[in-house]
A and B are shown apart, each in its own frame.
Chain A
Amino acid sequence: MATILSGNEAVARGAWEAGCRVAAAYPGTPSTEILENILLYPDIYAEWSINEKVALEVAAGASFAGSRSLAAMKHVGLNVAADPFFTMAYSGVTGGLVIVSADDPGMWSSQNEQDNRHYARHAKVPILEPSDSQEAKDYARLAFDLSEYFDTPVLLRMTTRVCHSSCIVKLEDRLEKLVTGYVKDVKKRLFLPSHGRARHIVVEERQKKLTVYGETFPGNRIEWGQKKIGIITSGISYQYAREVFPKASFLKLAFTYPLPEKLIREFCRQVRKVVVIEEGDPILETEIKAMGVKVIGKERIPTCGELTPRVIKESFDIEKPQVNAEPVPARPPVLCPGCPHRGVLYVVDKMKLVVTGDIGCYTLAALPPLNAMDTCICMGASVTNAHGLDKALGRDFSKKMVAVIGDSTFFHSGITGLINAVYNKGDLNLIILDNYTTAMTGHQPHPGIGKLARGETGKRIPPEDIARGCGVEFVKVANPDNLKEVEKSIKEALDFDGTTVLIFRRPCALLLRRKTPYYVDLESCKGCQICMRIGCPAISLSSSPEKKKETAVIDADLCFGCGLCAQVCTCAAIRLRDVVR
């Protein structure tokens, strides 16, 4: 049987076919749909963990029990999960353990474009790099076998274009793998230094066996063409290179760490010129050069940004089709009409506060016209960066600063920073924008909602209870839709001596029914444009010839009915329609 699957759907399918029983992930583009699709298979226990470190440790625990298990995350998620990742490499597995890292070359939805193939080398863990959905499915399945056979976690490395491209995939049946049960084995799972020393030797021995395996692994294959140019490539780069060099010989690698040195030497010996085409860092190139083989690589192919067939053509001065390009105004993503974050971010901007920011929809408020954010480094850094600024510059500065974090991000990694600020006598003023979901990645639940991954009811853990439990003495929950209340609450928090937590709570607009739309009374509108400063996509300017002025107009189809614009309007021109939708 065959069907069309995206790379992420294919990984989910491969895990299911392999008999995976436990899967955990934290949502993050481009990896999110892996767990979302695993949730469709009732044979697998699947959870949204609160962060990637937790997800990997949950999967590792399930592996201790002899269950095939998987943890999925975006590339920067593996930074969070790096601690268990490195030691699990020493520990090895009982049930197969597969870690999926979805990298984001081109940074479509990320803060950096780190190349996670480095992690395989750093932790000495084998890596598989699918180049399309069929391989994503096949290698996800195979990864569990390799994991158990070689007693190691396996890294399945995806990239945006593999995750979010679709192709025809041949399906197989599920392999029923029973959970073998827990057997105590402290030398393998309890990392005292003495145990670690013994396991390090095992890891080095394992490397040798994996190298031998890679030499004959069918996914590392030569496709002979003309022998003038031999191209060594892996992952999505293979698909692009095949397109650009239809006649060349290819060494397509899929098991790329440890590298099959003999196979590479054999290939290079038979072609006149060797070109390494890889997206991101020169990883294959560096290792092949270290074998003493002369190759062409990053002196031509860019390290920054994603590869495309055209980028490869440009790198080798190959003729390209003519194109018509027109400069057009950009259309970056924006906060939705009715977004509960808008009012709070408008107020912090109006109050001219320094805003340490975090990762979520609210990061979009960094763009004009809100311009309401100063920093965004990584998950949870709003809290800790603000604490650092406070300690470096003192109270006068921190009285003009807030840290802004979303509810899901707070659970992910805001809590430790909050405890740290309270403990170290910080003057942190933390705003939690609680929209009752993980909105940016497509509305996944989290502990603040009390719903589990498949929608079952769970225990609700409100952020305000956590804040009080962390020792915060000023904790307040307020309505983000009332600008006066927002400003008053922020002032109260700034006036308070010590760390404060303000929670602005209202569900994401995409989860609510729209209310009666507002309209602009053109007679009353003076054209001051203050309503434009809230950055609502439903409001635009329109010039009416008879009035010789630009007035605001509200698109009734887009208007959510939140009423924020009516609150900022100084001439009472924005009014509620009396017709009920």
Chain B
Amino acid sequence: MSRSNREVTNIVICGIGGQGIILASNVLCRAAYNQGFDVKKSEVHGMAQRGGSVITHVRFGSKIYSPLIEEGTAHYMLAFEKLEGLRYLHYLKKNGKIIVNNRAIPPMSVLTGESRYPDDIALKLEKAGKVYLTDAGHKACELGNERVVNTVLLGALARFLKFESEAWQNALQENIKVRHLDLNLRAFDAGLNW
């Protein structure tokens, strides 16, 4: 275990409803549990499912009280879309790590021309923390299914967390249907060996 058992690790996962964020946070949560940590996760359902902005909070350590991460204290941010990374940047701890999927999906207000999609997102993220821009969507397509973009990103996050590989393998098995498991294991490895 790289982190001393007393510390708490905070991870924000954000993106757009339908990108597989909830599944990714379930796998992460389970992996932390398999690794022997106390763990809590918070998410919001309902309106967020219809293409809206989605954020989940995952916290693990020796003892966790609040399921919510306080703004300015997230060690890691996993952003499935660039604008969403920028939206929740205030959760990031100073010099925290941002793993961001290099994908831009304009919201309705941008589609209708009411507002502009910011063009300097990478720059803004870099001012706040250490940015790892990944082409996870492309990687997922290469593997044969764009939907596993969530697992590719999770693999990219796993590089930093130093869990036993078994903790991840079991977490994936526990959350993913057998017929999709092999693809997801490959997607995870692709992210891990980025």
- A interface list, Cβ under 8 A from B: 4, 29-30, 32-33, 108-109, 132, 160-161, 164-168, 236, 239-240, 242-243, 308-310, 313, 320-326, 328-336, 361, 364, 367-369, 440-442, 529, 532, 535, 537, 539-541, 557
Q: Give the residues in chain B near A4, CB-CB below 8 Å.
A: 29-30, 33, 39, 41
Does B70 count as interface, using CB distance less than 8 angstroms?
Answer: yes
Kindly report which residue of chain B lies nearest to residue A321, judged by CB atoms: B72
B135 within 8 A of A: no
* Contact partners of A310 in chain B: CB under 8 A: 70-71
Asked whether A329 lies within 8 Å of B110 as measured between CB atoms, the reply is yes
Does A532 lie within 8 Å of B112, measured CB to CB? yes
* Complex contacts, B94 vs chain A, CB 8 Å: 321-322
Given the contacts A333-B17, A541-B111, A328 and B40 also touching, CB distance less than 8 Å: no
Say whether chain B's binding surface is mostly helix, strand, loop, or mixed: mixed
Q: What is the minimal beta-carbon distance from A170 to any residue of chain B, in angstroms?
A: 13
**Given A166-B29, A243-B65, A329-B115, A29:B47 Cβ within 8 A:** yes
Q: In the complex, which residues 79-105 of chain B have their Cβ closer than 8 Å to any Cβ of chain A? A: 83-84, 86-87, 89-94
Choose one: A236, A308, A321; the contact of B93 (CB below 8 Å).
Answer: A321
Are B124 and A326 in touch, CB under 8 angstroms? yes
Check A320–B72 contact: CB distance below 8 A: yes
Chain B nearest Cβ from A315, distance in angstroms? 14
Total A-B Cβ pairs within 8 A: 176
Do B83 and A329 touch (CB < 8 A)? yes
Within the complex, what minimum Cβ distance (angstroms) separates B171 from chain A?
Answer: 10
From B64, B71, B73, B128, name the one whose CB has the most chain A CB atoms within 10 angstroms: B71
Stretch at the interface among B49-57, B159-167, B178-186: B49-57
Q: Residue B117 at the A interface, CB < 8 A? A: yes
Knowing that A109-B44, A324-B89 are A-B contacts, what are 18 other residue pairs whose CB atoms are under 8 Å apart, sorted by A's residue number?
Answer: A30-B45, A33-B45, A109-B47, A132-B40, A166-B42, A167-B38, A240-B68, A321-B73, A324-B128, A328-B83, A331-B84, A333-B51, A334-B50, A336-B50, A369-B108, A440-B46, A532-B112, A537-B111
**Between-chain CB contacts (< 8 Å), 26 pairs:** A29-B45, A29-B46, A108-B46, A108-B47, A109-B47, A161-B42, A161-B67, A167-B39, A167-B67, A240-B65, A240-B68, A309-B66, A320-B70, A323-B72, A324-B128, A329-B115, A330-B109, A331-B107, A364-B50, A369-B108, A440-B46, A440-B49, A440-B50, A441-B46, A529-B113, A540-B106
**Whole-angstrom distance from the CB of A180 to the nearest CB of chain B?**
37
Interface centre among B65, B83, B89, B124 (most CB of A within 10 A): B65
Given contacts A329-B115, A331-B107, A541-B113, contact A309 B29 (CB under 8 A): no
Chain A residue numbers with a CB within 8 Å of B45 are 29-30, 32-33, 109, 164, 442
A441-B108 Cα distance, complex, nearest whole Å? 22
CA distance A186 to B159 in the complex (A): 67
Given contacts A239-B65, A333-B47, A334-B51, contact A165 B92 (CB under 8 A): no
What residues of A have a CB within 8 angstroms of the CB of B90 in the complex? 323-326
Docked complex Cα distance between A332 and B109 (Å): 9
Q: Which of B41, B47, B124 contacts A165 (CB 8 A)?
A: B41
Q: Is the CB of A361 within 8 A of B44?
A: no
In contact, B64 and A332 (Cβ under 8 angstroms)? no
Contact of B107 among A308, A329, A369, A532 (CB under 8 A): A329
> Within B1-59, which residues are at the interface with A (CB < 8 Å)?
16-17, 26, 29-30, 33, 38-53
Partner of B42, one of A164, A326, A529, A539: A164
The one of B70, B112, B118, B124 in contact with A308, judged by C-beta atoms closer than 8 angstroms, is B70
